Amino acid sequence: MAEPRPDLNLVVALRALLEERHVSRAAARIGVGQPAASAILARLRRHFRDELLTRVGNHYELTPLGTLLREQAAGVLELNDRLFATRNSFDPATTEREFRIVTSDYTLGVLGPRLAGVFAERAPRARLRFQRHERRDEDTTGVLSHSVLSSIDGAILPRGGLSANLPHIDLYQDSWVCVAAEGNRLLADVPTLEDLAALPWAMAYHTVNFTTSAMSRLAARGLEPRVDVVVDSFHVLPQFIAGTDRVGLLQGRLARAIAPSLDLRVLPFPVDTAPLTETFWWHPAHTPDPGNAWFRDAVRASAAAIVDLEPEP
């Protein structure tokens, strides 16, 4: 006789077993006895044809498949919660819903406070959760998977960061600029390629597999900068430039916001680059959700307070 098709209750049990890595604790979490939890684990092992949990000494560890399923089970249940939380109407003034958005630390600094202000004014009981967009060395694009995008309310990433077939709204534009300490007079007010080649650099997210479009343009012109500091944050980068001979590359809006407090110069980038168009993306399944529609309008209103979709000079 064929094994019954797993249902959502098994996903709940799967998540508990893989997160607790202990049958008794998982049983208590889902409200069943230990024998029942053991039987569920056995059924899951048969279904996935994998041990999922393996004993190592006096504790259990996840198999590689178990690690993958732990993340997927959490996503499935979060999407289920969102599905049944959806209503035909949405009242921002009374909602206690949590809205989750993935952004870079650059976008968080430029747009985040304004969006939080919109929430405070229009949806005071709602929660706004920012999640940092992480780039990994093995991921040359940093592109979010559809499964991740389906479990959040949206993401703000540059145009080209996700498929153009996904629903999206262009928010604002920015451009790359050079940043140097006020006391660094080795760099002219209008830097040349020779100036940039002669100075040490501090860079954000600079790896073998990933670099910015502006740095790619420099490479095309034959300039390979001498990078002596790399940080995983655009927002922190200026601290490694202030008071030094280093030069760095930053988005113009962020650079102009930070420069006065760190005594930095904001200088033009000597090579023409395409403007950075920051774009809000969401999963198609969220389009009819009135709560997500309100959130999209809130993001758009926050961006409109920055600029009317025109690049800064």
> What's the CATH code of the domain at 22?
1.10.10.10
Instruction: Examine the fold and report which residue of 40, 57, 85 is the final residue of a domain before the chain moves on.
Output: 85
pLDDT at 44: 86
For residue 68, the model assigns a pLDDT of: 85
Residue span of the structural domain in which 287 resides: 98-173+276-304
CATH of the domain at 208: 3.40.190.10
212 in the same domain as 195: yes
- Answer whether residue 93 is part of any domain: no
Residues 258, 116 within the same domain: no
261 burial type by CB count under 10 A (0-12 exposed, 13-18 middle, 19+ buried): exposed
* High-pLDDT (> 90) share of the chain, %: 39
Q: What is the pLDDT of residues 251-285, one digit of tens each?
A: 999 999 999 999 999 999 888 888 889 999 998 88
Count: domains in the chain: 3
Partners of residue 249 on adjacent β-strands = 178
pLDDT, one tens digit per residue, over 193-226 is 888 888 999 998 876 555 677 888 888 888 888 8
**What is the structure's pLDDT at 96?**
92
User: Do both 108 and 134 map to the same domain?
Assistant: yes
Nearest to 123 by CA among 275, 302, 285, 308: 302
Residues 187 and 262 reside in one and the same domain: yes
Which parts of the chain register pLDDT below 50? 1-2, 136-142, 308-313
For residues 168 and 288, membership in a common domain is answered with yes
Q: Which of 305, 256, 309, 310 is nearest to 114 (CA)?
A: 305
